[in-house]
Structure formats: structure tokens, C-alpha cells
Amino acid sequence: MENKDQSANSTFNHMRSKLSFGRMVDMAAEMGMDNPLFRCHERAAKATTLIEGREYINFSTYDYLDINTHPEITEAVTATAKVYGTSAGASRLVGGERPQHRLLEKALADFYEVEDCIIYVSGHATNVSTLGYLFGKRDVIFQDGLAHNSLLQGARLAGAARFTYAHNDCDALEKMLAEKRHEFKHAIIVTEGLFSMDGNIPDLPRIIALKKRYNCMLLVDEAHSFGILGQTGRGVREYFGINPRDVDMWMSTMSKTLCGCGGFICGSHELIDFLKYGSPGFVYSVGMPPVIAQACLTALDILKREPERVHKLQKISQFFLHYAQSKGLDTGQAQGYAVVPVIIGNSWVTGFLSQALFKRGIYVMPISFPAVKEGTARLRFFISAAHEEEHVIKAIDAIIEERPNAEAIVDKYKQEHPDVFTDY
């Protein structure tokens, strides 16, 4: 008789065969491509990083403002750990709060100039739990075609009707609202402040006008625009000069500019109270470790005090965009703020290109289907205030030089294995 372990294994393997990503990794190995994922870094990843004793120029960190490892944060975190330890111990509802929770929520609400804020232990869970809790079967969610996975999962959990409008196409959104809004009780439009794969910005003033006309709520996910857009890093609202109260939920993560972990929603006092007493990812999950809350609070102080970091990031991002374009590279719709993709198209070529860059001491991740549409695989560059022009020039020049080699490897393999090759 088959033992229990084997049967569990075969059930899992049957499931796994559905995952095209696993197949891609296996095929890549057969073609001679190292798996670029899950590499272990030997120090904080800044403009450069250290992997297996070798230094790389690093374009894969969320530390957009070059704040991680700031001595002020390390000192504040150490002092907090001495008093509060490293765990909040339980959900804040039952285990109680620590001063860092309250201070961080107050600081974020003030930063957004709205009434209140709730912090969750994960950015992804913030979207899942908030949307999943607030909306239900009689409601409708209108989402941008490139909305982040966490927003999609939240909408799914809500069980509400979902309509996806073409990326950043407000005409398409308006048409959908006109056709569908009246069929549902509550409605929400969901967008991002700066899109995480394409590095472009939505027409927020128009979306606000639409949300008002069609009586919808609006959630803006600022994971990649908080601390990045606007003269003082106050995000997409500062970029457009928007009244902060015109958006019902300002969402962002604390894993990026704030160098910590977790997510938050800023909004009205009533909304935040409602979430604090009911949202499952808050009520049934442990409170944020006080040390992390302290790290984020200190990072926010640095951001407010040193807007020059924001300016430096914007300047080097613009340089990256224009230099890449001047060399004929396809940067899609990127606007030159922290995230700039170099779109290659074919996933295999993108993978080999990333590998070639790695060999030359440049660390940048290939992104392919299912994270982006098939045929739009890319090298996604996260740019940081710590980068210098010479880092950018080295990376772009290396792409230009290595791309033909990467294409040749894939073409050769295709010709030699026409029966097994799957074009992604």
C-alpha cells in the first residue's frame, strides 16, 4: 500500500504541474540559465550589494530614499527593543498597544492630513483584509488592469462584482461606471499612485471627478509613490495638488520608503474605527512589532526632514529614463520615478540578459508572465537616491552590449529543440 507521505506528494505534484512558472524554471535550467530568484545577500542591499563575497550594483531594492541602515533608525530600534522586546505579543485588540503603534498612526495621518490611520503587519494583507472586509456581494469594485495582486485578492475575498478597466484608461472607467454602477449598492474604484511594474502615474484628478459623479469610494495604493512623488515626497496627491480628503483610503506599505514592514490605510475616523474593530487581518493578527513601528516612525521623520532625498531620487530616476531612451531602449509608459522597466519582450531573452548583467556585476531582476502580460517581459529597475549616474550608465550600456548575445542563445536553443521550446 502507498504510504501516506507518497500519496500527499503525488497530490501536490499533480497540482504543481499546472504551474507554468515551475515549468519555466526547469526549462531555464536546462537551457543553462541560473535561477535568479532567492539569492542571499550578505549585507543591506543599497546602491550596491554583496552576494557570495562579490559586490554588485543593485537595482532591486525598495529602499528608494536610501534610508535603510540609517544610524538614527538603528539606535531608535535598539532602544525600543530593550524596553518592548521584538514582539507585540498578541493582537492589539486583546494584547494592548505600545506607544509606537499610536505614534506611527498619528504621524501617518498627519502626513496625509486626514483624520486617522490603521497599521497592519503586512502591506499585502492591508489590501486583502481592507477590501475583503468592507465590501460584499451587493457591491462592486472597479479596478485598474494593472492593479497589484493584493488589490485583486482583496476584491476576490470581498465577493463583490469586479470590473477591470484598461490600464490608466479613464474613458474606459467612465463607460463602465455609466453602465454598471447603478446595479450595485456600494462601489469603490481602486488604483495605484505609481504603478509597480510600469512606473507610470494615473490621472487621479479625473478619477476623483468620476468617483464623485458616480458615488464611489476611492482607494489609492501608494506603495511606490509614498515618499517618491511631489516636492516633499507626499505622494501622488502632492504631485497633482489634490485635497487629501477627496480620496477615501490612502493605502501604502511600510516595506518601501519607510524601510520596515507592514501597510496602512489613512482616512476618516469612522472608517478607521470600523476597520480596527472588524478587519480580520487586523483583529485576528498580531500587532506590528514595536521595533518595526519605531523604525518606520524614524524613517518618516528623516523623510520629512530631508526632502533632498526625494529630489535626488527624482533626478537620478529622470536621468535613468532619458539615458535608456537615448540608447533606444523601450521603457514603456514609465515617467521616471523610482520604477523604470526596460521592456525586452521575450521572457527567455530577458532571463539570459539578467544573467549576463549579473555576471558583469549588475543585479536586476527579470520580470515575466504571470507577473506581467506575455510578450512584455522586462528588466525592472528600482532606482534609489543612493544611485549615481555612473551606475545607470554601466547598467544601460551593458544591456545594449549583452542583448544580442542573449537573443542568440535563445534562437540557437529554439532551432535545436523545436519540439520542446515554449515561447513566453
Ligand X SMILES: Cc1ncc(COP(=O)(O)O)c(C=O)c1O
Q: Give residues in contact with ligand X (CB under 6 A).
A: 122-124, 127, 148, 150, 192, 196, 221, 223-224, 253, 255, 263
Strands 263-267 and 249-253: antiparallel
- Smallest distance, ligand X to C-beta of residue 262, A: 7
Residue 16 sits at φ, ψ, to 5 deg, of -60, -30
Measured from the CB atom, the residue of 223 and 340 that comes closer to ligand X is: 223
Minimum distance, C-beta of residue 256 to ligand X, in the bound complex (Å): 7
Minimal CA–CA distance to 72: which of 337, 340, 259? 259
Strand order in the sheet with 48-51: 48-51, 54-58, 362-363
146/343 with CB nearer ligand X: 146
Q: Identify which of residues 225 and 346 has a Cβ nearer to ligand X in the complex.
A: 225
Question: Closer CB to ligand X, residue 197 or residue 410?
Answer: 197
Q: C-beta of 382: minimal distance to ligand X in Å?
A: 10
- Taking the least distance from each CB to ligand X, the nearer of 31 and 303 is 303
Residue pair 259/300 in contact (Cβ under 8 Å)? The answer is no
Task: State the nearest-atom distance from the C-beta of 248 to ligand X, in Å.
Answer: 17
Closest CB 134 distance from ligand X, rounded Å: 17
Specify the amino acid at residue 394.
K
- Contact between residue 153 and residue 130 where contact means Cβ atoms under 8 Å apart: no
Cβ-proximal residue to ligand X, closest one: 123
Nearer to ligand X among residue 263 and residue 336 (C-beta): 263
CB of 29 to ligand X, least distance (A): 27
Give the other-Cβ count within 10 Å of 307's Cβ.
16
Tell me the backbone φ, ψ of residue 91, rounded to 5 degrees. -60, 145
The residue among 234 and 403 lying less far from ligand X, judged by its C-beta, is 234
- 206's grid cell: 479625473
Q: How many CB atoms lie within 10 A of CB 356?
A: 18
d(CA 348, CA 27): 10
**How far apart, in whole angstroms, are the C-alpha atoms of residue 366 and residue 355?**
9
Q: How far apart are CA 171 and CA 187, in angstroms?
A: 18
Pick 288 or 399: Cβ nearer ligand X: 288
Give min distance, CB of 244 to ligand X, in A.
Answer: 19
State how far the alpha carbon of 364 is from the alpha carbons of 39, 62, 398, in Å. Answer: 12, 12, 12
* Smallest gap from residue 132 Cβ to ligand X (A): 14
Q: 3-state class of 289 per DSSP?
A: coil
